[in-house]
Amino acid sequence: MIDFHLDPKSGVAPYMQLVQQVQQALRLGMLKVGDQLPTVKHVVAKIAINPNTVLKAYRELERQGLVAPKPGRGTFITATLADDSLSAHQALRTELEHWIAKAEAAGLDHDAIQALITTTLRKTHQGKP
């Protein structure tokens, strides 16, 4: 079982903070397939947030295929982020290294590259329904 926390100064919507904390725990192996997430009641009683925020976070995790609700029992982890994508990491990293080399050759510095990646990521996500 993991505990959630809320950082009011992060600028990230509260439900998204919960989503990110579960994703992080999955990447780090703190949560494994079959583990149960805290119940909504447990989370709201612990960190004093709106139950709808917790439900929204769990729905988003379900949409991402990371958890599944079992009626009357709770919400359980159904996939791990670490193992699933790990095999693809190496090939993607090599491609990215090539791309970064090209960007540097074109005169972009570290900050410019970072900004380009961040904005492109955001735009790509905005384009999706």
Partner 1 sequence: MNPPILHTKALTKRYGHHTALTDVTLTLPTGSIVGLVGPNGAGKSTLLALTSGLIRPTSGTIEVLGSPPAADAAQLARVGFVAQDTPVYAALTVDEHLRMGRRLNPHWDARLAADRIRQIGLDPTKKAGRLSGGQKAQLALTIAAAKRPELLIFDEPVAALDPLARRAFLQNLMEFVADLDVSVILSSHLLSDVERVCDHLIVLAESRVQIAGDTETLIAGHHRLVGPRGDLPDLPAGVEVISADHTERQTTLIVRNTGPDTPRALRETPNLDLEDMVLTYLHRAGRITGETTTPVEATR
- Considering the complex, what minimum distance in angstroms separates the CB of residue 18 from partner 1? 13
Cβ proximity to partner 1, 13 vs 86, nearer residue = 13
Q: Return the sign of the alpha-carbon dihedral for residues 23, 16, 14, 118.
A: positive
- Considering the complex, what minimum distance in angstroms separates the CB of residue 89 from partner 1? 29
> Residues in the site for partner 1, rule: CB under 8 A?
6, 8, 11, 13-14, 40-41, 44-53, 119, 122-123, 126
Do residues 6 and 49 lie in contact, with contact meaning Cβ atoms separated by under 8 Å? yes
- Hey, what's the torsion of the CAs at 4, 10, 15, 16, to 10 degrees? -100
- Considering the complex, what minimum distance in angstroms separates the CB of residue 104 from partner 1? 23
Rounded Cα distance between 129 and 114, Å, is 25
Cβ proximity to partner 1, 14 vs 26, nearer residue = 14
